[in-house]
Copies of this chain bind each other. A is one copy, B any other.
Amino acid sequence: MKNYKIALLKGDGIGPEIVTQAVKVLNRAAERFGFTISYDEALLGGSAIDATGVPLPPETIEKCKATDSTLLGAVGGPKWDSLPGNLRPEAGLLGIRGALGLFANLRPAKIFEQLREASPLKAEIIGDNLDIMVVRELTGGIYFGERGRRTVNGAEAAYDTEMYSVPEIERIARVGFRMAEKRDGRLCSVDKANVLESSRLWRATVARIGKEEYPDIKLSHMYVDNCAMQLVRNPKQFDVIVTSNIFGDILSDEASMISGSIGMLASASLSEGKSGLYEPIHGSAPDIAGTGLANPLATILSAAMMLRYSLEEPQAAQAIEDAVSEVLKTARTADISAEGIWQVTCEEMGDMVCGLL
């Protein structure tokens, strides 16, 4: 029987409880589809700071590298907010993205038909089956460029550098084009080429890759300010969006909010190889940790993405996604509760998804 090794980074806040439910679901899927999974836990974020003094212990990187893929809960919380930048939970997140070379962040923003009502947008704006995929560059740009302080005209100043090289743009562009190939064949590249030099190189490079390698994909270019508008005005126009690290951070959060059910949205961060890091897009919600209110579905769907993109178990992935769709008809956690539908705890939700598998 095939055995997969998965690193678990439970993280902080609701992280442990949602990962526990996802593991339960993974085990049930493994049983049903005839494979096994062994898990290796490691520390990241606040819990790592508490135990080791740093948000990303070297051991965590080693463990993740030694497995087929990594499942992450969520990191961060007010407890660690006053630490200096490089010792905060977020630094652990950025560190592991860099250390594992996770340059491609896939953030689907889709509306679950059962949760249509939850969107802040009017029904006619979201239309039917809204499904946008944001492909965000994750190991470059202003997140990883040179930064620091200096003195300008006698005053203190701080700077950060947005930088992209041609190979960095090429590889993320290819991820965007390949994603569009598997979906509706439309890729929108988002930049600020009317102002930024890095965006001008971005635009020219994406255009060239499109012309040379993916002539059948319908490529368009949009300025980031316009994209932020268009996501609200007419989100249906988008299939796949590819963009830089910082623009992707902003636009993918905006796009996910359009779905109105952020507790449902999964994400994948991929490297050149097969392995990746999978996590819900929501945060660690320290205020509800331990109360049973957390929604484990985004983490369960992240586990499904892992089965599809990193473990080559697409059937198991599909079965989990179907079970999640199904369960929404009868049971919901508090964040997506609706009249006439049973409100369940985090653990009960995990059990119900298992039951439907």
Contacts from A to B (Cβ < 8 Å): 85, 88, 90, 94, 120-122, 125, 142-143, 145, 147-149, 152-153, 155-167, 192, 194-202, 224-226, 228-233, 246-247, 249-254, 256-258, 262
Whole-angstrom CA separation of A162 from B244 in the bound complex: 15
With a cutoff of 8 Å between Cβ atoms, the chain B residues found around residue A159 in the complex are 145, 161-164, 197-198
Can you spell out 7 A-B residue pairs with CB atoms less than 8 angstroms apart?
A90-B194, A121-B121, A143-B195, A149-B197, A158-B164, A159-B198, A160-B199
Evaluate contact between B158 and A200: CB separation under 8 angstroms.
yes
Question: Which of B152, B162, B254, B257 contacts A142, CB < 8 Å?
Answer: B162
Evaluate contact between A162 and B162: CB separation under 8 angstroms.
yes
Evaluate contact between B157 and A201: CB separation under 8 angstroms.
yes
Assembly stoichiometry (copies): 2
With a cutoff of 8 Å between Cβ atoms, the chain B residues found around residue A199 in the complex are 160
Evaluate contact between B161 and A160: CB separation under 8 angstroms.
yes
Question: Which of B148, B167, B197, B250 contacts A148, CB < 8 Å?
Answer: B197
Evaluate contact between A201 and B149: CB separation under 8 angstroms.
yes
Evaluate contact between B197 and A226: CB separation under 8 angstroms.
no
A148's nearest neighbour on chain B, judged by CB, is: B197
Shortest beta-carbon contacts, A-B, top 3: A157-B165, A158-B201, A159-B163
Whole-angstrom CA separation of A167 from B196 in the bound complex: 24
* Sample of 4 further A-B pairs with CB below 8 A, known A121-B122, A153-B165: A122-B122, A225-B250, A228-B228, A229-B256
Question: Which of B149, B160, B198 contacts A196, CB < 8 Å?
Answer: B160
Question: Which of B156, B192, B254 contacts A229, CB < 8 Å?
Answer: B254
With a cutoff of 8 Å between Cβ atoms, the chain B residues found around residue A249 in the complex are 192, 224-225
A205's nearest neighbour on chain B, judged by CB, is: B156
Looking at the assembled complex, report how far the CB atom of A78 sits from the nearest CB atom of chain B, in whole angstroms: 13
With a cutoff of 8 Å between Cβ atoms, the chain B residues found around residue A258 in the complex are 232
Query: Which of A85, A90, A157 has the most chain B CB atoms closer than 10 A to its own CB?
Result: A157
- Given the contacts A229-B253, A254-B228, A167 and B155 also touching, CB distance less than 8 Å: yes
Whole-angstrom CA separation of A166 from B153 in the bound complex: 11
Whole-angstrom CA separation of A247 from B155 in the bound complex: 23
Whole-angstrom CA separation of A232 from B109 in the bound complex: 14
Looking at the assembled complex, report how far the CB atom of A43 sits from the nearest CB atom of chain B, in whole angstroms: 19
Looking at the assembled complex, report how far the CB atom of A197 sits from the nearest CB atom of chain B, in whole angstroms: 4
Evaluate contact between B253 and A228: CB separation under 8 angstroms.
yes
With a cutoff of 8 Å between Cβ atoms, the chain B residues found around residue A202 in the complex are 158
Whole-angstrom CA separation of A217 from B257 in the bound complex: 29
Whole-angstrom CA separation of A198 from B145 in the bound complex: 12
Evaluate contact between A224 and B250: CB separation under 8 angstroms.
yes
Whole-angstrom CA separation of A253 from B201 in the bound complex: 24
A170's nearest neighbour on chain B, judged by CB, is: B155
